[in-house]
Structure 1
Amino acid sequence: MHSILRIWKREWPLHAMLVPGLVFVIVFSYIPMAGILMAFQKYIPTKGLFGSPFVGWKNFRFLFDYPDIGRIFFNTIYIAVMKIAAGLFVPIAIAILLNELTRQWIKRAFQTLVYLPHFLSWVLLSGILIDVLSPSTGLVNQVIVSLGFEPIFFLGDNRWFPYVMVVSDVWKEFGFGTIVYLAALTGINPSLYEAAEMDGAGRWKQTLHITIPGMMPIIVLMLTLNIGNVLNAGFDQIFNLYSPQVYESADIIDTFVYRMGVQQSQYGFATAVGLLKSVVSFLFISVSYVLAYRFANYRIF
């Protein structure tokens, strides 16, 4: 008991620092979980959460019978998987190229430039993209027309919209990922490069046989952790850029929940969709942590 009190006296400030964050999580993450009941109710705002009639699994049956639900899940997974793949490859490539720069001021300047979009909200960036990609006055289409081609309605064409989402998301976030991989590169022993150079290996061979294998643990870790985001295709981005004419390729689970719950007041049905997504995401996250522990020796406990 005496040793426990001694440890508590030494560590109580650290526990006290956790209290504000713990209160925040309880208030905004755990207490709202009572709203899960709405998935099994015909929720009526005037009757409240505990006064609305229960309908059992009716909302879920309606969900699986909904004609567009398959397309919505496909759009979500399709866009999310492309974002994960591109968001993994581009930062790795940029980090390797930056690592080859010998002038530090150029390296730092480039890092700062590519990192800036990470701090901008999609509300601001969507306005920029709408102007830049406009079929009539946008800079991109002006270049396309000057080359003799027809202008492209990037944000209004189902063939182009998913890829615009992927490219713009990578542009916004690859600077942050680059920093992670640059940190991984600093952990590679420089003597390995010296030994490879003495054996006649050029920069390309050194990259293939030293740089990439040295980065592999963090690459595997980032990939496995991103598995949990397979059903998160980016609500903020798509909500600010899509329109009814691209619902066929742009409508994802989160935008569908927003329309059903907020715009059409189908609270029970929207909650059922969100709950199903949360359950599937939890399974993906669990699998990702198992894979991260097995292949990258990463664990949270």
Structure 2
Amino acid sequence: MSNQSIQTRNLQVKEEKKLDKIIRTFKREKHIWMICIPIIIWVLVFAYYPMYGMLIAFFHYTPGKSIFACDWAGLFYFKQFFSAPEFFNVLRNTLAISGLNLLFGFPAPIILALLINEISSKYFKKTIQTVSYLPYFISWVVTASLIYTFLSTDGLLPVILQKFGLLHREISFLGEGKYFWTIITSANIWKTIGYSSILYLSAIAGIDKELYSAAEVDGVNRFGKVWHITLPGIRGTIIVLLILQIGSILNAGFEQQLLLGSPQTREYWDVIDTYAYRYGIQLGRYSYGMVVGLFKSVIGLTLVFLTNRLSKKFFDISVM
């Protein structure tokens, strides 16, 4: 028998063994799979089937007509998007806002979770947790109203600054673009810091308490226990959430920009999502809007795989 025939036979045997293993696993876990069937169907229908609509990015789509009945456009709308005068400004704003959220917003709930964990009074701890969670459940419409009340020309902050002599003229912080990134980042942190800390608090709760007792015997202070026990204990959670947040780095927000932005500050708040909404929905250029959304999705998916690969290589932790 030739070497090629032997190799072919070995490959067939390996494939058969792999198939047998899959069948045995399925039979062993058939009850779990039966429970998962409704969820799988839901994901296929509502998450994967709508992806068929991405094809309109490659057609001159007309509403009411079948996609394949429309004229083929190829990469026409992609070229149009990448050569648009607003492209680099929109990309800059998206990366700037997302980068600030990543730089300041990502560590904020970790720090809050560590601080809450160090509170010994159960009543005070629950009060702090409740107060920090509440902003997450406030809609952006209400949040924007509060921010306008606080930062408008006759708002609370300008009035206080003028009383203390720190501001010598009337100023509208929301009317000047140079303040927008700071305002939107602060608002995002305020809304999400408490809710995002829940996962870290859950991870901290799973750390073996005997490690803290052993550290006390060795004379380790509070900061030392946080640095050498708590943080390493939640490292896996931190890395997984970091991978997911890097993957969504082009999701810089939508409602907050539309509600807090104005024509004077569009140069600073117009991001990929608002750009896609304006051109794709308001102007009815559905193919062009789909190209913008598809661009964001492809970059996000690429970043998830890249970050996941690096994490697996250096930390042996990954999401897949």
TM-score class, shorter-chain normalisation, is: 0.7 to 0.9
Once the two structures are superposed, residues 36-85 of structure 1 have per-residue CA deviations (whole angstroms, 9 ceiling, x without a partner) of 22212222335453332222211111111111201111111111121122
Pair 1:243–1:27, CA change in 2 (3 A):
farther
Q: Is the 8 A contact 2:240 2:319 kept in 1?
A: no
Structure 2, unaligned runs of 5 or more: 1-23
- Worse-superposed segment, 97-106 or 238-247: 238-247
TM-aligned CA deviation for residue 254 of structure 1? 0.5
Where in structure 2 are the equivalents of 1:1-301 lying within 5 Å? 10-11=31-32, 14-15=35-36, 18-19=37-38, 21-45=39-63, 47-136=65-154, 138-148=155-165, 149=167, 150-294=169-313, 297-299=316-318
RMSD: 2.7
Structure 1 equivalent of residue 3 of structure 2: none
Q: Is the 8 A contact 2:239 2:317 kept in 1?
A: no
Q: How many residues matched? A: 297
Once the two structures are superposed, residues 163-221 of structure 1 have per-residue CA deviations (whole angstroms, 9 ceiling, x without a partner) of 11111001100102222222222233334434444444332333333333333232222
Structure number with bigger Rg:
2
Pair 1:31–1:205, CA change in 2 (3 A):
closer
Amino acid at match of 1:143: I
Amino acid at match of 2:115: L
SS for the counterpart of 1:50 is: helix
Q: Normalising by the residue count of structure 1, what TM-score does the alignment of the two structures yield?
A: 0.87
Pair 1:151–1:114, CA change in 2 (3 A):
farther
Q: Hey, what's the Cα distance between the residues in 2 that align with 1:97 and 1:167?
A: 19
Pair 1:244–1:23, CA change in 2 (3 A):
farther
Amino acid at match of 2:131: L
Q: Which has the higher contact order (CA 8 A, sep 6+)?
A: 1
TM-aligned CA deviation for residue 10 of structure 1? 4.6
Structure 1, unaligned runs of 5 or more: none
Amino-acid identity (%): 36
Q: Is the 8 A contact 1:221 1:296 kept in 2?
A: no
Pair 1:48–1:110, CA change in 2 (3 A):
same
TM-aligned CA deviation for residue 298 of structure 1? 4.5
Once the two structures are superposed, residues 63-122 of structure 1 have per-residue CA deviations (whole angstroms, 9 ceiling, x without a partner) of 111112011111111111211222222112111211221110100111011011112222
Q: Hey, what's the Cα distance between the residues in 1 that align with 2:186 and 2:35?
A: 42
Q: Is the 8 A contact 1:220 1:295 kept in 2?
A: no
Q: Normalising by the residue count of structure 2, what TM-score does the alignment of the two structures yield?
A: 0.82
